[in-house]
A and B are shown apart, each in its own frame.
Chain A
């Protein structure tokens, strides 16, 4: 492969978007070409800079309510009150956080019992309200793990996966689907991944993936612990994350 051909593929290379043959050929070329190797490094640095430093514009407070008010309502309001008038909303007081609280409440009401997937999505959404993401905010795995172990009957593996692209953010105690649960929080670009873990006896079970309410979920059982990873990151990224966790567990 020549430089000009390889150069055109470097961007796809850092996105892991190339097919196996193209990837191999670029690999081989880069191994023997300092110039292209330097370009590849530079693209990686740039990707990391954009992912960590590009300003993220969160929806301003009030936008959710404004949209809620603009959505058509053709029938008279019934017993179920719209989310933007729910007490949680007025208590929380501000836009998205309040809206999400409303959503989380509705999820709990409609998701019903015995649907752990909906329960973890509810917890995931609630966790993203302001100040609820972590009880212990640190990327130090040696702080998060003992903190959780001291408070729960399970000791889930906690590993900073920063090198692998999933930096550890912290941990918190949660209550999911009737279980006290450890929630270990990771990040992928600007997205939050909640890893829930609770004691669950039985044989190990392999990964089960599903998509619900726009969120991806991977669940498995390993060493007497039930795991749920939930996030809005791409399904294959979440599977990659789950694989890393399972390898450490």
Chain B
């Protein structure tokens, strides 16, 4: 097939998902410049392996490549700094969901997550470990099914389920800490 045809087919499939690819890369890499590099690398890879795309959900396939491109980028640019720490909860590793909820009475005032502003939520999200951040993004922003998240992240569905659960509880814990700090400062 002439290269231009292949290229045009690729662009038709891949460009509409540029925002999704960039958003994921941006949340993983943490800044615009690196996110752009990761996305560009991902698109070049996707084009190279385009013939291997077997049909199915192109966005899921592309996001998988974006994630892999990010991991390569981390290895090349942040040597020694682990970004993906497998299943280290924000709380102690011995915690299960029940203890992560904590025993303190839930203060409805502190938990008005409906009242959280975008900026604060974004900041808390950045504090989550990357493997929690990514499952939350894939679930809540990309609206992917557990099976698809498992495909992108390369872990079993059961792990997706427990990671999502812990990611939510981790975010909740960060939010509670933030609310306490605000209280202490009389905000």
**Interface set of A (CB-CB < 8 Å, partner B):** 3-4, 7-8, 10-12, 15, 17, 38-39, 42-43, 45-51, 53-60, 63-64, 66-68, 70-75, 77-78, 80, 82-83, 96, 99-100, 102-103, 106-107, 110, 125, 188-191, 211, 213-215, 232-234, 236-237
Contact = CB atoms under 8 A, between A and B. Distances in A.
B140 A63 contact: no
Interface of B: 2-4, 7-8, 10-13, 15-23, 26-27, 32, 35-36, 39-40, 43-44, 47, 56-59, 62, 96-98, 101, 106, 111, 113-114, 116-119, 121-122, 125, 136, 139-146, 148, 161-162, 164-165, 168, 171-172
B16 A59 contact: no
Nearest to B172: A46
Given A42-B111, A56-B23, A103-B16, 12 more contacts: A4-B97, A43-B168, A46-B171, A47-B168, A64-B15, A67-B39, A99-B15, A106-B12, A110-B8, A189-B140, A189-B141, A236-B145
Contacts of A214: 13, 16-17, 57-59, 62
B47 A72 contact: yes
Given A42-B106, A100-B15, A11 B22 contact: no
Contacts of A54: 118, 121-122, 125, 140-141
A53 B116 contact: yes
A232 B16 contact: yes
B96 A96 contact: no
A102 B18 CA distance: 14
A45 B171 CA distance: 13
12 contacts: A10-B165, A49-B114, A54-B125, A59-B21, A59-B39, A71-B47, A73-B3, A83-B15, A102-B11, A189-B140, A189-B142, A214-B59
Contacts of B32: 57, 60
B19 A96 contact: yes
A74 B3 contact: yes
Contact of B114 (A45, A78, A232): A45
Given A15-B139, A191-B143, A213-B58, A49 B2 contact: no
Contact of A48 (B11, B16, B62, B114): B114
B116 A49 contact: yes
- Judged by DSSP, the binding face of B is helix
A237 B140 CA distance: 13
A21 to B, nearest CB: 15
B59 A232 contact: yes
Contact of B161 (A11, A57, A59, A80): A11
Given A12-B161, A46-B171, A57-B27, A7 B11 contact: no
A188 B43 contact: no
Contact of B143 (A11, A49, A72, A233): A233
Q: Which of A58, A74, A234 has the most CB of B within 10 A?
A: A234
Contacts of A73: 3-4, 7
B179 to A, nearest CB: 13
Given A57-B22, A60-B32, A100-B16, A7 B98 contact: yes
Nearest to A124: B16
Contact of B18 (A42, A55, A99, A211): A99
A240 to B, nearest CB: 11
B40 A49 contact: no
Nearest to B42: A67
Contact of B22 (A58, A70, A102, A215): A58
Given A4-B98, A75-B3, A55 B122 contact: yes
Q: Find the residue from B11, B101, B142, B171 having the highest chain A CB count within 10 A.
A: B11
B18 A96 contact: yes
A62 B33 CA distance: 13
